[in-house]
Amino acid sequence: MKSKEELKKNLSDLEYRVTQEKSTERPFTGEYYKFFEKGIYSCLVCGQNLFSSETKYDSGSGWPSFWDQIDPIAIKVNVDSSHGMIREEIVCANCDSHLGHVFDDGPKPTGKRYCVNSCSLLFSNK
């Protein structure tokens, strides 16, 4: 696992703030919001596979949205009570990087909406 200093060196300011300090990128600005190529999205920090393009959809929220994770153990859910709301935070199960939140207003079959910051993900079509 990388130290905070190493991460700071290797990530952009925004990437560091989102993945390590649970910040949120501005909606409609992320690299993967309007991006629908076929491939795999992995954790920017540790490389663990998190989402497949097959479950990606446009939720209109301004952030990349998925209705399922790639593997039932890829992502961990924590209760987040910041900003006066109870939300379910999603983090990489391998390195605890903050990814975004999961909501119950997604499409079938799961009914889930994984709302993810583009800058916490790395896309690959290999």
Active site residues: 115
The residue from 94, 117, 118, 120 that contacts Zn ion (CB under 5 A) is 94
Total residue count of the chain as it appears in this document: 126
Residue 50 found at the interface with Zn ion (CB under 5 A): no
Q: For the beta carbon of residue 114, count every other beta carbon within 10 angstroms.
A: 27
Cα torsion angle, 87, 13, 34, 124, sign: negative
In contact, 49 and 74? CB cutoff 8 Å: yes
The phi and psi torsions of 75 (rounded to 5 degrees) equal -125, 145
Q: Provide the mask over 96-115, with x wherever binding to Zn ion is found by CB under 5 A and - wherever it is not.
A: -x------------------
Q: Does 7 bind Zn ion (CB under 5 A)?
A: no
Query: How far apart are CB 35 and Zn ion at their closest, in Å?
Result: 20
User: Which window, 23-31, 40-48, 54-62, 67-75, contacts Zn ion (CB under 5 A)?
Assistant: 40-48
Cβ proximity of 111 and 123 under 8 Å: no
**Residues of the shown chain interacting with Zn ion in the complex, contacts defined by CB under 5 A:** 43, 45-46, 48, 92, 94-95, 97
